[in-house]
Chains A and B, each alone.
Chain A
């Protein structure tokens, strides 16, 4: 309330809330990551972490958005509302971790500032409607959640005022819509299995359902109630309809007024709590004060003022009792103005329903039991969601990246069209494509070494027999001996292929998945950084072809095909083989996005 400043007003219930929340998040993340590693051992661990964090935050957002309407539909949910901001801030932290991991994974160590890359590398909105950049949508949602989390404290609520603060926090609905689009046009867009779409649709249906139900219910209560008396007062209700445990709300002049009974005194004050505009007409008289059901703010019914030392005040209204009916005058007094209450004598029955006040040490036992059951339902969802999501994800093909393991390689270096090392082995010459650390090609590292014997160290990347080495730049040394000429290219014929253009480094094992929409931005950064563009085609028998993409002149096509990366495309060109390295020579105009 308006007295002094406390960073967090800790209470026993708040500690329990946060402990349960933390446990729920940890259970979810642990379960998701564990299941992912067990069911999809080929996926890189970063994939499991990013997806665990993202789905966790999205599920938490559903809980955050559900509490408000559920509390309007059933007041037993109100205890969950009391500390909802802790849930919201925690959700933002989980979402921010998802964003941070994704930005590092897909955008860092490249030729562009990662924060700029998030906005531009996933494509352009000019490509609508066929291709929608999903990462800017997620970034926008995260920005909204950041503003909300940063202003969540009562310090900002008090300084911005409740209407402004609430307006800012209404943006959560925009964030939710952006996130649904982020997921639908991202993870779901290229997934081969439909059930995940169903899960997101079910979540959206739930959120819409509870909000529309709450809105319909509130709308009925918002109709201007009561009839005017000849002298201009509003006839609200019978005297015995108002009890200390059950104020009556009435809409006068478009705003709610709470008619309150405290002993034999009947008063009327604005029903809009100064704290967060909570519904005081749904509150209860405790210690002589009308108490807000949301966060327990209190007001004296006669004056509309909070008891000292607090300073909040509300408008008051004249009230009278005539013929067993309560009348309220529609003209409000200045907030905090004392108004003499109307007196009644008839005794009234109390409402036995328990009432929750967050700052009291204990919740009423029936409410505590209900809340425990509700939390168990949320925990059940937190167990079911990872099982469903991980089970229904698309399969991850075998690949590997020996991160942190440096092997020594020795062979003949080829500079063109992409750097490669030809290594003599027991079964002939084996080629290793070479790339630099991060999202960069190895061409600058090997300039002038074409045909030269070379020693180097690097980490092996491998997928289905196609190998690549991430070179440690300082380890490249020219060996003894003369340069060797390259094998002549062998034309294998014309071909039209349907498939996808991927960056060879991630696709062959550095990231798994290293293809489709979810990897689009990273692939564009990698290919623009000089990593070979690979044409990936496959057929129904499971056979896959990986052809490095060059132009008709045999030079890399990287800059010409960036807009087509990670999109379904059809390419016409000629297959060419140099040793065990295979290329697709194509005119970029002969590569088109499939409709």
Chain B
């Protein structure tokens, strides 16, 4: 490989080493599955029971 290409590979590796953990950390911190309530309140539970 020429010098420029080798340097670019190294820069890419270092950038990935910085960016990927940040992306995964950010995604894990903001991960939000659909909420689950402790108990459905009466009126909404009535809908469920009515089906």
Contacts and interface: CB of A to CB of B under 8 A. Distances in A.
Interface of A: 68, 129-132, 163, 166-167, 170, 173, 176-177, 180-181, 184-185, 188-192, 197, 200-201, 204, 207-208, 211-212, 214-215, 218-219, 222, 251, 254-256, 272, 277-279, 394, 464-466, 492-500, 515-516, 536-541, 543-547, 567-568, 574-575, 577, 580, 582, 594
Interface of B: 1-6, 8-10, 12-17, 19-21, 23-24, 26-28, 30-48, 50-51
A190 B34 contact: yes
25 contacts: A129-B30, A166-B5, A170-B8, A177-B15, A177-B23, A181-B27, A185-B27, A189-B31, A197-B31, A207-B16, A208-B13, A208-B20, A212-B13, A214-B9, A256-B1, A272-B1, A277-B1, A394-B33, A498-B37, A537-B35, A537-B44, A545-B44, A568-B32, A582-B47, A582-B50
Given A170-B12, A197-B24, A211-B13, 6 more contacts: A163-B4, A189-B30, A494-B43, A497-B40, A516-B33, A543-B40
Contact of B47 (A211, A251, A256, A575): A575
A464 B30 CA distance: 30
Given A545-B48, A547-B44, A277 B5 contact: yes
B30 A537 contact: no
B48 A177 contact: no
A184 B32 contact: no
B46 A180 contact: no
A516 B10 contact: no
A180 B35 contact: no
B33 to A, nearest CB: 5
Contacts of A197: 24, 27-28, 31
Main secondary structure of the interface of A (DSSP, over half): mixed
A285 to B, nearest CB: 20
Most chain A CB within 10 A, of B39, B43, B46, is at B43
A200 B28 CA distance: 12
A498 B20 contact: no
Contacts of B3: 222, 251, 254-256
A539 B36 contact: yes
Nearest to A536: B34
A173 B35 contact: no
Contacts of A222: 3, 6
B43 to A, nearest CB: 4
Contacts of A594: 32, 35
A161 B18 CA distance: 31
By Cβ-Cβ distance, the 9 closest A-B pairs, closest first, are A184-B27, A575-B43, A465-B51, A211-B13, A545-B44, A582-B47, A492-B43, A173-B12, A498-B35
A540 B2 CA distance: 60
Contact of A204 (B8, B10, B24, B30): B24
